[in-house]
Homo-oligomer: A and B are copies of this chain.
Amino acid sequence: MTVKIGLVGTGTVGGGCLDILTNHAEDFKRNFGADIQLAGVCSREPERAAEYGVSDLFTEDYHDLLNNPEIDVIIELIGGTGIAKDVIMGALEAGKHVVTANKAVMASYGEEVFAAAAQKGLQVFFGASVGGGIPIIGPMRHSLIANQVTKIMGIVNGTTNFMLSRMNDDGLSYDAALKEAQDLGYAEADPTADVDGFDAAAKIAILASLAFHTDVRMADVYTEGIRNLNPLDFATAKSMGYAVKLVAHANLTDDGVFVRVHPTMLPLEHQMASVNGVFNAIYVVGDAVGQTMFFGEGAGAGPAASAVMGDVVELARRLELGIPEDCGSPVRQQLPLVPMDNLSTKYYIRFKVKDRPGVLAASAAEFSKAGVSVKSVSQRGNSKRDDVNLVFVTHTAKESDIRAAIKAILALDNVVTGGFPAVIRVEE
């Protein structure tokens, strides 16, 4: 089957796709009967098309690809929810299948996209939207479908995992780790999407929708990032037997679906605790399969392109077989979302305070007033500096009580506000 593709976006991932096509087009024909031909390339960088020797197929206007009747599949790789969404919806409107790596569109407008595709009998593949090259969307839609998935934990943002690894292993400050990530090209100049957890929120929204067959959107995900963490947090966690990771959680509870992203202490013996650097991992628990984990590189030209082109070849194979539509929207029900206030877990909380008598006692008293049982409290920091750290570890407590205590403590004299405290929730 000959399938003609139009590529929109020639950045890192787009380049990786062109590399794969160059290297493996013959393999795809022989192994899967899929003759994948590039029929158009669109971006704002004609020099990238030249670099790959496809200037004759280049345009700066994506409408040229949508209007090209030869093109069967549009690959959308520009990201974001602006033009990217127009490209996706426009492609479906024009009767073209879509392969996208766009987590933001899928996590915010997935149902709209699926509905448009269903109306036209078209397919939308988005395997690269979560976990880069790690096969996770496929297993969630196929291999694991005999399970009721009850729990997902994902280290799904390579930028922050790299930074946390550097802070943990080498004692770098947040700022130094961020600068290094930016210098290495792992973090954007504006790192908000990564460090504040929004990228992870989009990914867990997609996974939760697939797992629980309910519509979970990025905006539904409670999100805290890693800006408040410092090397002391990692050292303390290690002494407690934990590693600190930015974890995206999705749980199926009796009260509904609970989705959240925040720094999390994982027991050192947990398989996820040793996932370091730019690697990603998604841990999935199902009622039959038990614990599973999917590990790999979550970003970069090769891994993401592996997922995109895997989708393209799969789509081509299905078109060959005349398959109408296989998955589409996973949503079959609408489950309630559990509010963050309902969380019940152990907490690590580090305040920054002025080194004055009474601060520790006054802070501890506020936890007590809020009904939170404190397991340990210690003052840590350089005695030569005026600011010191006050580290609390609680017994299991309710999020709402913790918030009340934090609010009261931040109102105390000699407690530093402005971004603090650092809060890490503990996964047992």
Binding site for B on A (CB under 8 A): 16, 19-20, 23-24, 27-28, 30-32, 127, 133-135, 137-139, 142-148, 213, 271, 274-275, 279, 286-297, 300, 302-303, 305-310, 312-314, 317-318, 321-326, 330, 332-333
Contacts and interface: CB of A to CB of B under 8 A. Distances in A.
A310 B142 contact: yes
Nearest to A313: B145
A288 B271 contact: no
Given A289-B306, A326-B321, A294 B294 contact: yes
Contact of A127 (B27, B143, B147, B326): B143
8 A-B pairs with least C-beta separation: A135-B143, A146-B309, A292-B296, A133-B289, A135-B139, A288-B306, A289-B306, A138-B143
Contact of A296 (B23, B127, B134, B290): B290
20 contacts: A27-B148, A30-B333, A31-B330, A133-B286, A133-B290, A134-B292, A135-B143, A138-B143, A139-B139, A142-B310, A143-B314, A286-B306, A288-B305, A288-B306, A292-B296, A293-B294, A293-B295, A294-B295, A317-B326, A321-B325
A143 B282 CA distance: 15
B274 A142 contact: no
Contact of A288 (B138, B275, B290, B302): B302
B31 A310 contact: no
* Copies of this chain in the oligomer: 2
A271 B293 CA distance: 11
B303 A296 contact: no
A75 to B, nearest CB: 12
Given A31-B330, A135-B143, A138-B142, 10 more contacts: A30-B332, A32-B145, A135-B135, A137-B143, A142-B314, A143-B314, A144-B310, A289-B306, A290-B300, A321-B325
Contact of A303 (B275, B288, B297, B317): B288
Contacts of A279: 291
A291 B302 contact: no
B289 A143 contact: no
Nearest to A280: B292
B307 A143 contact: yes
Nearest to A330: B31
A271 B295 contact: yes
Given A31-B332, A297-B290, A332-B30, A305 B146 contact: yes
A315 to B, nearest CB: 11
B296 A295 contact: no
A318 B318 CA distance: 11
Given A31-B213, A310-B143, A314-B145, A296 B289 contact: yes
Contacts of A142: 135, 138, 142, 310, 314
